[in-house]
Amino acid sequence: MPYPNPRSVLVALATPFALPAFLVLLLTISAAWGEDTNMDTTGYTPRAVILIIGDGMDDQQISIARNYLKGAAGKLLLDTLPVRSAVGVLTVEDTVDGRPIYVADSANTATSIATGAITSRGRIATTAGSDRDLVTIIELASAAGYRTGIVTTASVTDATPAAFASHVNFRLCENPDAMVDIHYKSVYLGGCPDDLKANGGPGSIAEQLASSGIDVILGGGRKHFEPQIEGGSVPVSTLARQRGFQLLTTKQELSRVSPPGRVLGLFSAGSMPVRLQGQNGRQAEEAEPSLLNHLHDYIGDVTLPAPMSCEPNPEANTVPSLREMTDVALDLLAHDNNRGFFLMVESASIDKQAHERKPCGSIGEMEQLDEALASALAYADKHPRTLVIVTADHSQAAQLVPAQSLFAAYPVPIYSPGMTARIQTPEGSLLVVNYATNNFSHEEHTGANVPLFSNGEGQGRVPAYAQQPELFTIMREYLSL
Amino acid sequence: MPYPNPRSVLVALATPFALPAFLVLLLTISAAWGEDTNMDTTGYTPRAVILIIGDGMDDQQISIARNYLKGAAGKLLLDTLPVRSAVGVLTVEDTVDGRPIYVADSANTATSIATGAITSRGRIATTAGSDRDLVTIIELASAAGYRTGIVTTASVTDATPAAFASHVNFRLCENPDAMVDIHYKSVYLGGCPDDLKANGGPGSIAEQLASSGIDVILGGGRKHFEPQIEGGSVPVSTLARQRGFQLLTTKQELSRVSPPGRVLGLFSAGSMPVRLQGQNGRQAEEAEPSLLNHLHDYIGDVTLPAPMSCEPNPEANTVPSLREMTDVALDLLAHDNNRGFFLMVESASIDKQAHERKPCGSIGEMEQLDEALASALAYADKHPRTLVIVTADHSQAAQLVPAQSLFAAYPVPIYSPGMTARIQTPEGSLLVVNYATNNFSHEEHTGANVPLFSNGEGQGRVPAYAQQPELFTIMREYLSL
């Protein structure tokens, strides 16, 4: 929003066409006042949006984490936010005017949040069916002079961060070597031939990030910056350096960063190690019915997975925490910045650990999110025009189920047909997490609407029920984009 | 809240003790102003609370119902309410100072809402371990001169309604014949010997309701009013008549009721028939793996349950709808009433149908809740001091899972280890509901925090995150109890 320079008022008054020019000027000033009059002396009202996404952070995950981390009667920092509502997730088939799909993935949901569009699973800021690129909030903010940042515990090329700053038709096109015929163990998964530079496309996600105008990118995914750029002879990381990024790869380097500067921090090869794990690395396990019970559900007995505690994952110390990355990002973005910024912070492995049936992992990543939120709120306390939004992209498989069945009076073995983890909580109770959406190595997502939170700045802006694309609109309007 | 009569001001000023009396009067007026100055001429500010409980109505159930009834991009009436937040559910072991239990049942959750206390599963308005009676919001409201009502699609003696107006240590003590040694198919389930009148207790739930001061009780559960009262020779229904209730048993009788009067309507023997059912009565079913797939998860193939539609349950027409019952209750409670009322409305079979793995049943009962909400909001529109709260008591087993697995690219049969229903929605997509919390005939509840909604009257009263007992406090304070 341009602020009329006082000198131009004088110039306008001094010319022969003073009156009409002055009227135009007055209208400009009025329009500016109509929006916000709390400008600083530099001519801008600095504003910031900090968007925190808990991947797969549905109400089951929140409740599991609350019980473990704070006790049933305790509260996460999330629980103390003044605005809490719900977001409906929308997905469509990959055709023009496709029918609704009721369960999303992180690619299409991040696209909804980042661009305001509804698209199909697997797509990164591109339209369903027609494969057009969608302008993202980071691109809009950057063009309007805001600084921008991405912080994630996943690879920075993973679906959620990718959808804020790149455009491909398939989420796994993360680096120049993964653009066509992407396979996993001889299974064809997809590809992005139309997105190759050779075909007039923007290239892989890593190349797009390296060439982007983003100021801060922190997370995992170093391996995606090692391949050579398409049609060139340098790795993607070199392209990033050439485009002005300072490259970091260790926690120590991160701790020494100071503004100003543009930074690309890649602290692990892929996803960053998570904070917590099951005792001795255990995850959810199947119950073991006796031979008799195999013959009939109502006879014999069953051995349930032994209770376990959660323990620190020793690998977690090798990388910075989500909070440490968030703190550095806020420092860099806010330094000597009279315009403001947009920052997306993702706790990615709430979802990834749930896919792998590792409830302790999800709990630790919920804790990481709550800590990053503390940083965001501390920043917002000092900088009043900061909208902090917390949400999830989609819901997940994990369910908090009873330690003792509601039907325990019946003398039959009652157990989950899926896999469960029976976790001893610090307050001395047994917390049982069930994973039973499929028989595959990875659980499914689910289709429930997800939570939406904000700080006081969201009051009157964040509705009681939003559809996911509306989040884009709320943030865009807040930054007057 | 007494309103100072203007005449008494004059009297106060005319007496020899004018000043002290006037000061007292001023304080009275100030206190009254501090609370609410919109009084009517009768001396009271009529106020009403309409509390709508969707039993088991978590965000999965809401999302499933939204998709089916309104389409993915549509909105339930629920979704349009101006206040939407979350409630944490709290349960403890059945001992004094017992440890937390992370998954609740409807008895202890209804007790929390109705009394503000945290108790153990199965208890009806009594304390965990010590078995003391807890005063309920209906008892408080009634004592303060408010009319009170209960409307439910369950038996009126079922846990949720029971906890608002009766006190026993075990939810199944619904009638005089079910007070000790309650068995189901030779399995001992529990009993309430201490609650027998012979032992100085208040008797069964049905007897307590029949003797209560509640003005309107509508729902199912006729069979619980047929046994003879403990120590007497008349059925409970006769006791209810003797205590001033007009008894109704048919939809036609309900439609002819007009105020004034106290009414007990019992429209079915037990729970009322639900509105929707699966095609030909189908429910969720197991996938059928081929012989090869039985040998190993990654080979062979699987036959998924055939898609189905939902269809009307012909029995539903024999009973009034939740909305029809709510409308009659509102008429009776509001008629010529300058004090106000408390009404609890429960859509009970969202949960009951989910226990039985019948997603169409739950969807129809979500629709019933949305319709009852429409009645409540229409009433509140005409009577501004009406707080409408909608919430669930606990979350449930049902999960909305993908129609096509996220991992469909892998050439292996992927399916739920539990039971699924694949429902064709009116908008032409496939909605898949998964039930996989146990191998028993009935699914478990789950432990996620549940949604909380209110009309505008809840703004500033309903917090972003409440613990379930706080709902009692919000309603009590609203009615100045």
B212-239 residue pLDDT tens: 999 999 999 999 999 999 999 999 999 9
Nearest CA in chain B to A447: B400
Task: Answer whether A400 sits within 8 Å of B103, measured CB to CB.
Answer: yes
Task: Answer whether B417 sits within 8 Å of A412, measured CB to CB.
Answer: no
State the ipTM, two decimals: 0.91
Tell me the average pLDDT across A112-120: 98
The pLDDT, as a whole number, for residue B244 is 98
Tell me the average pLDDT across A162-173: 98
Task: Answer whether B403 sits within 8 Å of A103, measured CB to CB.
Answer: yes
Task: Answer whether B402 sits within 8 Å of A102, measured CB to CB.
Answer: yes
**pLDDT above 80: residue A35:** no
Specify whether B91 is located in the same domain as B125: yes
Phi, psi of A337 (to 5 degrees): -125, 105
Place of tokens 């997509």: B429
Task: Answer whether A190 sits within 8 Å of B409, measured CB to CB.
Answer: yes
**pLDDT above 90: residue A473:** yes
**pLDDT above 60: residue A2:** no
CA gap B194, B207 in Å, rounded: 15
For A100, which of B71, B85, B414 is closest by C-beta distance?
A: B71
The residues in A 271-300 lying below 8 A from B, measured between CB atoms, are 297
Task: Answer whether A80 sits within 8 Å of B449, measured CB to CB.
Answer: no
Task: Answer whether A63 sits within 8 Å of B90, measured CB to CB.
Answer: no
For B84, which of A71, A86, A418 is closest by C-beta distance?
A: A86
CA gap A323, B395 in Å, rounded: 31
- 10 Å CB burial of residue A398 (0-12, 13-18, 19+) is buried
The pLDDT, as a whole number, for residue A297 is 85
**Band of the pLDDT at B5, cuts 50, 70, 90?**
very low
Nearest CA in chain A to B463: A82
Specify whether B330 is located in the same domain as B266: yes
Q: Is A441 considered catalytic here?
A: no
Task: Answer whether A86 sits within 8 Å of B59, measured CB to CB.
Answer: yes
CA gap B430, A142 in Å, rounded: 40
Q: Is B144 on the interface with A (CB under 8 A)?
A: no
The pLDDT, as a whole number, for residue B39 is 44
Domain total of chain B: 2
Contact B67, B400 (CB under 8 A): yes
Q: What is the DSSP letter of A430?
A: E
Tell me the average pLDDT across B75-80: 98
Specify whether B302 is located in the same domain as B260: no
Specify whether A58 is located in the same domain as A14: no
**Band of the pLDDT at A45, cuts 50, 70, 90?**
confident
CB pairs under 8 A between A and B: 253
Which chain B residues are Cβ-neighbours of A297 within 8 angstroms? 439-440
pTM over the 0.90 mark? yes
Omega of the bond prior to B260 within 30 degrees of 0, cis? Answer: yes
Residue A251 burial (CB count, 10 A): 16
Tell me the average pLDDT across A276-289: 97
The pLDDT, as a whole number, for residue A27 is 38
Structure tokens at B358: 């019948």
Active-site pick, A8, A63, A85, A106: A106
Kindly state the greatest CA–CA separation across chain B. Answer: 102
Which of A7-21, A150-164, A315-329, B300-314 comes out lowest in average pLDDT? A7-21
Structure tokens at A359: 């409830």
DSSP E strands in A195-238: the ranges are: 216-220
Give the gap in angstroms from C-alpha A117 to the nearest C-alpha of chain B. Answer: 13
Q: Is residue A360 part of a domain?
A: yes
Task: Answer whether B414 sits within 8 Å of A439, measured CB to CB.
Answer: yes
Q: Is residue A250 part of a domain?
A: yes
DSSP E strands in B276-425: the ranges are: 276-278, 285-286, 288-289, 302-303, 310-312, 340-347, 386-392, 395-396, 399-401, 419-424
B227 vs A15, higher pLDDT: B227
DSSP-derived secondary structure for A24-84? HHHHHHHHHHHH-----TTS---EEEEEEEETT--HHHHHHHHHHHH-TT---TGGG-SEE
H/E segment holding residue B183: strand B182-184
Residue A392 burial (CB count, 10 A): 30
Specify whether B174 is located in the same domain as B307: no
Best residue in A439, A441, A443, A461 to probe B by mutation, most B CBs within 10 Å?
A439
A473 vs A25, higher pLDDT: A473
Helix (H, G, I), strand (E, B) or coil at A212: coil
Task: Answer whether A444 sits within 8 Å of B297, measured CB to CB.
Answer: no
Per-residue pLDDT tens digits for A413-444: 999 999 999 999 999 999 999 999 999 999 99
Which of A334-343, B14-23, B159-168 comes out lowest in average pLDDT? B14-23
The pLDDT, as a whole number, for residue A298 is 86
Which chain A residues are Cβ-neighbours of B410 within 8 angstroms? 187, 440
Structure tokens at B403: 């129609």
Which of A359-368, B17-26, B95-104, B251-260 comes out lowest in average pLDDT? B17-26
Contact B235, B228 (CB under 8 A): yes
For B405, which of A101, A409, A444 is closest by C-beta distance?
A: A444
Task: Answer whether B436 sits within 8 Å of A429, measured CB to CB.
Answer: no
Q: Is residue A143 part of a domain?
A: yes
Q: Is residue B28 part of a domain?
A: no
Contact A250, A266 (CB under 8 A): no
Share of chain A above pLDDT 70, in %: 91
CA gap A195, A180 in Å, rounded: 9
The residues in B 429-468 lying below 8 A from A, measured between CB atoms, are 429-432, 434, 436-440, 442, 444-451, 453, 464-465, 467
Which chain B residues are Cβ-neighbours of A444 within 8 angstroms? 401-402, 405-406
CA gap B412, B297 in Å, rounded: 8
DSSP-derived secondary structure for A106-127? HHHHHHHHHHS----TT-BSB-
Specify whether A174 is located in the same domain as A202: yes
Q: Is B73 on the interface with A (CB under 8 A)?
A: yes
Which chain B residues are Cβ-neighbours of A99 within 8 angstroms? 427-429
The pLDDT, as a whole number, for residue A18 is 39
**pLDDT above 90: residue A6:** no
Share of chain B above pLDDT 70, in %: 91
**pLDDT above 60: residue A259:** yes
Q: Is residue A212 part of a domain?
A: yes
Best residue in A465, A467, A468, A470 to probe B by mutation, most B CBs within 10 Å?
A465
Per-residue pLDDT tens digits for A198-236: 999 999 999 999 999 999 999 999 999 999 999 999 999
**Band of the pLDDT at B15, cuts 50, 70, 90?**
very low
Best residue in B439, B441, B453, B467 to probe A by mutation, most A CBs within 10 Å?
B439
CA gap A453, B362 in Å, rounded: 28
Specify whether B89 is located in the same domain as B238: yes
Q: Is residue A416 part of a domain?
A: no
Best residue in B67, B83, B102 to probe A by mutation, most A CBs within 10 Å?
B102
CA gap A282, A280 in Å, rounded: 6
Tell me the average pLDDT across B119-127: 98
DSSP-derived secondary structure for B9-64? HHHHHHSTTHHHHHHHHHHHHHHHHHH-----TTS---EEEEEEEETT--HHHHHH
**Band of the pLDDT at B43, cuts 50, 70, 90?**
low
DSSP-derived secondary structure for B131-177? --B---HHHHHHHTT-EEEEEEEEETTSHHHHTTT--BSSTT--STT
User: Chain-wide mean pLDDT for chain B?
Assistant: 92
Specify whether A249 is located in the same domain as A366: yes
User: Chain-wide mean pLDDT for chain A?
Assistant: 92
Give the gap in angstroms from C-alpha B450 to the nearest C-alpha of chain A. Answer: 8
Task: Answer whether B59 sits within 8 Å of A449, measured CB to CB.
Answer: yes
Which chain B residues are Cβ-neighbours of A352 within 8 angstroms? none
Q: Is residue A299 part of a domain?
A: no
Contact A292, A300 (CB under 8 A): yes
**pLDDT above 70: residue B393:** yes
The pLDDT, as a whole number, for residue A36 is 39
- Say which residues have a Cβ less than 8 Å from residue A404's Cβ, sequence separation at least 6: B101
Specify whether A218 is located in the same domain as A93: yes
Which of A100-109, A115-124, B17-26, B458-467 comes out lowest in average pLDDT? B17-26
Which chain B residues are Cβ-neighbours of A81 within 8 angstroms? 464-465
Cα dihedral sign for B52, B58, B64, B70? positive
Specify whether A29 is located in the same domain as A51: no
Which chain B residues are Cβ-neighbours of A108 within 8 angstroms? none
The pLDDT, as a whole number, for residue A168 is 98
- CATH number at B131 reads 3.40.720.10
Q: Is A181 on the interface with B (CB under 8 A)?
A: no
The pLDDT, as a whole number, for residue A44 is 62
Nearest CA in chain A to B188: A409
Task: Answer whether B187 sits within 8 Å of A410, measured CB to CB.
Answer: yes
The pLDDT, as a whole number, for residue B189 is 96
Q: Is residue B233 part of a domain?
A: yes
**pLDDT above 60: residue B36:** no
Which chain A residues are Cβ-neighbours of B90 within 8 angstroms? 72-73
Active-site pick, B8, B63, B106, B166: B106
Helix (H, G, I), strand (E, B) or coil at B72: coil
Specify whether A18 is located in the same domain as A164: no
Specify whether B308 is located in the same domain as B208: no
Tell me the average pLDDT across A100-105: 98
Tell me the average pLDDT across A77-91: 98
Boundaries of domain holding A450: 47-275+313-397+437-478
Q: What is the DSSP letter of B222?
A: G
- Say which residues have a Cβ less than 8 Å from residue A320's Cβ, sequence separation at least 6: A218, A251, A254, A255, A265, A267, A328
The pLDDT, as a whole number, for residue B32 is 38
Best residue in A406, A442, A452 to probe B by mutation, most B CBs within 10 Å?
A406
Nearest CA in chain B to A302: B439
